[in-house]
């Protein structure tokens, strides 16, 4: 099954957040296992994502913990601004990046 670029990017963010959590735990002196495994999985995943997607994601992640947020009922779950319905229709069809005009996060639409 070929996953869309957006789906891969969402998975990448999940892994990044998990790696961050693992580091947090380590700071408190708990030994963590699997951190290397997570990083390996991250590399593998990142290699399947196109450069422009990765670049946009990386830039946003410098400012925001969650660079990608879901949209539910046309509402951005990052800042709760209503998105134009037309954007949602396009986003479901095209595999390209749509961002929230208000908070700048990358959006993905939940069915």
Smallest distance from Zn ion to CB 64, Å: 10
Length of the chain: 111
Find the binder of Zn ion among 71, 100, 106, 108 (CB under 5 A): 100
- Tokens of residue 57, six digits: 């994601």
Contacts to Zn ion from residues 50-89, by CB under 5 A: 76, 78-79, 81
Q: Does 102 bind Zn ion (CB under 5 A)?
A: yes
Q: Does 108 bind Zn ion (CB under 5 A)?
A: no
Give me the residues that bind Zn ion (CB under 5 A), please.
Answer: 76, 78-79, 81, 100, 102-103
């Amino acid at each position: 099954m070929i996953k869309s670029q957006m789906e891969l990017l969402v998975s990448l963010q999940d892994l990044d957040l998990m790696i961050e959590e693992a580091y947090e735990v380590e700071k408190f002196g708990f030994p963590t296992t699997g951190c290397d495994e997570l990083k390996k999985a991250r590399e593998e995943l990142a290699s399947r994502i196109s450069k422009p997607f990765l670049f946009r994601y990386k830039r946003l992640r410098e400012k925001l913990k969650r660079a990608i947020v879901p949209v539910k009922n046309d509402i951005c779950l990052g800042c709760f601004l209503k998105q134009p319905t037309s954007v949602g229709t396009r986003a479901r069809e095209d595999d390209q990046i749509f961002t929230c005009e208000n908070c700048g996060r990358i959006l993905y639409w939940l069915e």
